[in-house]
Amino acid sequence: MKFIQKEFILAEKPRGFNLVTREILQNIPEIEEIKTGLAHIFIKHTSASLTINENADPDVRTDMETHFNIIVPDNADHYLHTAEGPDDMTSHIKASILGSSVTIPVTNGKFNLGTWQGIYLCEHRNHGGRRKIVVTISGESNN
């Protein structure tokens, strides 16, 4: 069994649901060493999240952002935690709903995603900044 772990920073993204599959893969070329395994991708933040969804039609990403803003609106009177602005508490709620990690099968050195699947960085802040990611891959080596 082989283990690979890398921590890196994703470029700053705008608020919304951003495809980052390619950017993640660019940071983990070692994935090619794994024949069969799992990749665990974790974001080290409480105001952004990760999920897997549609990678082709950008309308899906727009609709996801619209839906989450309806169910968890900024500027609601009942939020106490607003020290960093109107998107402060809402970003924490959205991140908890979606989660801080995804796990993806690795097959022959590649993510074994479905045809229309991609990894989203879900940026819930208006100005979230660069985001730290930890990828841990475990599995059977190609060697």
pTM (2 decimals)? 0.96
Would you state the pLDDT for residue 33?
Answer: 96
Q: Among all chains, which residue has been given the structure tokens 């999920």?
A: 51
Read off the pLDDT of each residue in 124-143 and give the average, rounded to a whole number. 95
Read off the pLDDT of each residue in 103-119 and give the average, rounded to a whole number. 98
Helix, strand, or coil here: 110? strand
Q: Where are the alpha helices (DSSP H) in the chain?
A: 21-27, 58-71, 88-98
Return d(Cα 78, Cα 86) in angstroms, integer. 11
Would you state the pLDDT for residue 143?
Answer: 73
The closest of 41, 46, 43, 126 to 94, measured between CA atoms, is 46
Return d(Cα 63, Cα 34) in angstroms, integer. 35
pLDDT in tens, 61-105: 999 999 999 999 998 899 999 999 999 999 999 999 999 999 999
Bridge partner residues of 51 (DSSP) = 120
DSSP code, position 15: S
Architecture of domain 2-141: Sandwich (2.60)
Count CB neighbours of 26 within 10 A. Answer: 10
State yes or no: pLDDT of 142 exceeds 90. Answer: no
Mean pLDDT for the chain overall = 97
Q: Residue ranges per domain, the chain?
A: 2-141
Q: Please, which pLDDT band fits residue 3 given cuts at 50, 70 and 90?
A: very high
The closest of 112, 136, 115 to 35, measured between CA atoms, is 112
Beta carbons of 36 and 19 less than 8 angstroms apart:
no
pLDDT in tens, 15-62: 999 999 999 999 999 999 999 999 999 999 999 999 999 999 999 999
